[in-house]
Structure 1
């Protein structure tokens, strides 16, 4: 009996522990953004709703979708509200999101919190001036005491990632720079019917003194939608030559686990110090953008301090360790 109990104990140690009550997918929306560290003990999660800006929150990364609060519902015809992200600047929360006014192209719009409470009320500040170009997927890179707006232009026959310095949350200044454009077959949906060239959804990731931009490659509707990686080499972040693109995707479909088109990566640090990747994906290889949902899993780092995202895990209980 003692030998049997020892065997059972060893077997349990060999199986990844599961987060209590948490299972993938965690939210039936796409385009996730999660706060890196908890606000007042809660992680804040945003995602595309299409018609409003909602903040979900929860006590842990994997339960961040526990409670929902809508902080903005447009009344002036604004539609196609996509990809909101939330940033703390000078004691206020700023939400950047994509939207479209009737008869106009997509643009980046902004909300400012009225107090220091990220779950409080917000004021609509209007659109950013990005040289009049149709733009989506806003996010922020912090470097050298400055903030840079990353966004995606969609008016050149491809989705391309650009960057501009922010003098203040509503003040892009100077010339913007093209940081990434589709080059490789995996950025162009090779092997599928959805082959529009796309680099989009840029998100900053920092580790061990290094700065990365994780982005999505290929058409959003393609089952080959995946995550790519830009690594900062030093110097001026507005110089495209100072970013090196990895020649292969760093996170892609896992047919053996029933996950296709994983993209729109966002990151958080758990209260235990571990690292989390949240992403949107679907459980079918259909060439459409329907039924994308948000999933969460832990990740680690390679010896060279680049991220090791592994492969998309099966839907179901979330493992507490990779």
Structure 2
């Protein structure tokens, strides 16, 4: 599992932002632009959060995350912690959902889905790949 995503020669580094005990815990992202990866000037900060609370879906404070690929390598998924209520503090549950990619290259994490939503399994999960 990673916090970095690479696709089509581009590298994106994601991070959790704010305090995990609040409903406003969220994810931010940097994009590597070349040069020395230890130099701040080699990175561009994406100005807005890339994954954050969804009051409509009852998802608060999504963060503390990681990414994984489906067994057949065709899908990228996020696993994270979040709350179902704005007042739960650090009593979070683990959630996961498939992400997509924007036409201009960066990952699109979408909107956190509610725990009541039934999701399709990662592609080729039942093949036993990786076991």
What does residue 127 of structure 2 align with? Answer: none
**Secondary structure of the structure 2 residue equivalent to 1:223:** coil
2:11 is aligned, of 211, 225, 249, to 211
Count of matched residue positions in the alignment of Structure 1 and Structure 2: 120
CA distance in 1, matches of 2:88, 2:44: 30
> 1:280, CA displacement in angstroms?
0.7
Aligned to 1:296: 96
Q: Work out the CA distance in 2 between the residues paired with 1:255 and 1:223.
A: 10
Could you say which residue in structure 2 is the equivalent of 1:228? 28
Query: Is the contact made by 1:297 and 1:319 (CA closer than 8 Å) also made in structure 2?
Result: no
Unaligned runs of 5+ in 1: 1-34, 37-202
Partner of 1:270: 70
Give per-residue Cα distances to partners, 1:250-300, cap 9 Å, x unaligned.
0000111110000122111102311101111011101621x2111010011
Gaps of 5+ in 2: 123-131
CA distance in 1, matches of 2:43, 2:81: 25
Cα RMSD of the aligned pairs, angstroms, is 1.6
Indicate how the Cα distance of structure 1 residues 244 and 287 shifts in structure 2: closer, same or farther if over 3 A, else same: farther
**Cα pair 1:227 1:262 within 8 Å, conserved:** yes
Match of 1:255 in 2: 55
d(CA) in 2 for partners of 1:231, 1:318:
29
C-alpha contact (below 8 Å) 1:253/1:260 kept by paired residues: yes
- Higher radius of gyration, 1 or 2: 1
Q: Which has the larger share of strand?
A: 1
